[in-house]
Amino acid sequence: MSPFTGRAIGLAFAALWLFLGAVALPLPWRYLAGALGLAAILLLGVRAWRMNERRTGLFDMRRYRLSVALEFGAIALAGFLLDRVGLGGYLIPVVGIIVGLHFVGLWWAGGGPQYLRLAGIMTAIDAGALLLPPGSRAMQAAAGLGSAAALAMIAGTGARR
């Protein structure tokens, strides 16, 4: 996977989290947050495209695939278990924590220290969102917008050190 492909994937997921968080905001803030966030993500995408990084060949695709497979499995299991015990209101930040933790696997695959930073930042943001009322718009906004910002910051800036 090329460095730009990885950044594009990160920015695409940042846009997804942005949408998830922005829709929880009251009008007109949802449109303002969505528009400004999308503009920032697009600008970061252009910046990432122009970075002209070269692939090092150190990224282990087997480890990457394992990390993503474990992430999907953990999300499915968490969704099932939370629903089963009546705690479905916690789903969004729990998914954010799982997504954050999967970046440890990307670091393990050889992706670099920025993945550990992203894992820590995203996990902390979503753990903090768990302190808000379950299933509330505040919880959804905090988890969505916070996760979007963390993903965009790392994916779009090329933060390596």
Tokens for 144? 């969505």
CB atoms under 10 Å from CB of 96, counted, come to 25
Q: What is the chain's Cα-based Rg?
A: 16
* Domains of the chain, residue spans: 3-157
* Residue 145 pLDDT level (bands cut at 50, 70, 90): very high
Structure pTM?
A: 0.89
Q: What does the angle CA 100 – CA 12 – CA 14 come to, to the nearest 5 degrees?
A: 45
- Evaluate whether 143 touches 2 at the Cβ level (below 8 Å): no
**For residue 103, how many C-alpha atoms fall within 13 Å in the half-sphere facing its CB?**
25
pLDDT at 68: 94
% of the chain at pLDDT higher than 70 = 91
